[in-house]
Amino acid sequence: MRQEEQIIRTEYSELMQKSYIDYAMSVIIARALPDVRDGLKPVQRRTLYDMYELGIRYDKPYRKCARIVGDTMGKYHPHGDSSIYEALVVMAQDFKKGLPLVDGHGNFGSIEGDGAAAMRYTEARLQKITQEAYLADLDKNVVDFVPNFDETEKEPEVLPVKVPNLLLNGAEGIAVGMTTSIPPHNFGEVIDGVIAYMKDPDINTEQMMRYIPGPDFPTGASILGKSGIRAAYRTGRGKILVRATAEIQPMEHGREKIVVTEIPYMVNKLRLIEKIADLVKEKRVEGISDLYDASAGDDIQIIIELKKDANANVILNQLYKYTQLQESFGAILLALVDGKPVVMNLQQMLAEYLKHQEEVVTRRTRYNLEKAEKRAHILEGLRIAISNIDEVIHIIRTSYDNAKERLMERFALSELQAQAILEMQLRRLQGLEHEKIDAEYRDLQEKIAYYRSLLADEKKLLGVIREELQEIKEKYADPRRTKLVANPGEIDVEDLIEEETCVFTL
């Protein structure tokens, strides 16, 4: 065959289009977007699973981040160490995540925009909640495991997360032709919202907002108005106005100062201060005599001292207008549903999370049922052995290679039951406690009946999910940090309707 005959001629534009679509889908599915079920991107999921595999638990010593990153890259995520370490750092930063999943030890960056120290200097381990609510029951066949990139290891397709992590921790990601921007929410409020949705799947946005009134940012601050939140929850897209917490305080000689104690989510504190200083230099904001940062650790304090005749309220409003003391958060509730990117409203997100929870609890119950039935089956064999103890011992002592077959034939035992009898030492077999085995057998029968009733009744299964959520809420719920205040420039339709007592007759 001549070389010319081996050349496949393709239109250049067609080849570029196909290659770009392949690249785009790879970025969308394998890198940038979180899965709606566990709210995690592949790099986050793989890092947490690797830490679980390495046994870096919350009650064990910290381990070097370089070890975690290297192991994750070698086994599960071959896309470079920087992306893995960056994901690990963000999961440990309490000013970015409302619920940090990693317990970091060392310099993990700051709200001022400082980066984390190199991975050879920092250490990490799993948080307690990550173990209890994100990685629990992985050994009970609750999720599917898929081959890793070189098919030498298995990794979970999704984590069996018990809480709606996508809403709790939010997500940021830029894919190809699309982006996701989900704000974090309050732990207790989200769980209340899930339980309300379980009771009434037809609940509307207004009713849902009684339970989940809006995002709850780890940096606090205030959300102005409800219209942006309502739009985001109803359509999957909305612009939420976030304003810093600032207080005007008196100083000596009749002067005043503005003290900023909370700043909007994802705002770099250092750049914010620099921007205010630039406005003063350019004389776009006049009346500021001094500006300095008196923050200590997590306690933010930006001090803006004013000149004697300056109007503090006017200057504060100017700073809201020209700086990131007031910032809009563009919410886009986009996540992967069955491997496809979908913009969802709040109810759809909760529905997908609950569907995942039902599957996890169903698979866990099946696993527990099979395990209980297997043990009960063995106990049935042991009960037969106890009732015929002398004959069983005689068969074992007088048999060479066929003791199992003889036991199976004589007492109509299964291979599993006969093997369990043979594996017990003779002195233990002679001293078997009849009552102890009977008590365990009765206990197992109760468990088997309970597991079967769960699998037969969806309402009962949902009740288990509800109870587990309540337990986690009682253990980990925290007070709301972000205040919800009225927006002076926003008119709510409800405010235009006069409240009256009405009687409806049907």
Which residues are annotated as catalytic? Answer: 121
The closest of 345, 361, 370, 321 to 464, measured between CA atoms, is 361
Strands 222-224, 483-485: pairing is: parallel
String of DSSP letters for 100-141: -SEEEES----TTSPPPPPTTT-EEEE-HHHHHHTSTTGGGT
CA distance 332 to 237: 5
- Give per-residue burial for 322-359: e unless 16+ CB within 10 Å, then b: bbbbbbebebbbbbbbeeebbebbbbbbbebbbebbeb
Lookup result for tokens 């919410």: 331
Q: Where are the alpha helices (DSSP H) in 388-433?
A: 389-398, 403-411, 415-423, 426-430
User: Do you know the residue count of the chain?
Assistant: 506
End-to-end CA distance of the chain: 86
The closest of 354, 346, 352, 371 to 461, measured between CA atoms, is 354
The closest of 474, 452, 479 to 195, measured between CA atoms, is 474
User: Rounded to an integer, what is the distance from CA 364 to the centroid of its chain?
Assistant: 19
Helix (H, G, I), strand (E, B) or coil at 337: strand
CA distance 490 to 242: 14
String of DSSP letters for 169-193: H-EEEE-SS-EEEE----HHHHHHH
- Give per-residue burial for 432-462: e unless 16+ CB within 10 Å, then b: eeeeebeeebeebeebbeebeebeeeeeebb
CA distance 143 to 129: 19
CA distance 476 to 28: 32
User: Rounded to an integer, what is the distance from CA 52 to the centroid of its chain?
Assistant: 15
Strands 288-293, 302-306: pairing is: antiparallel
Contact 226, 209 (CB under 8 A): yes
Lookup result for tokens 């370089």: 66
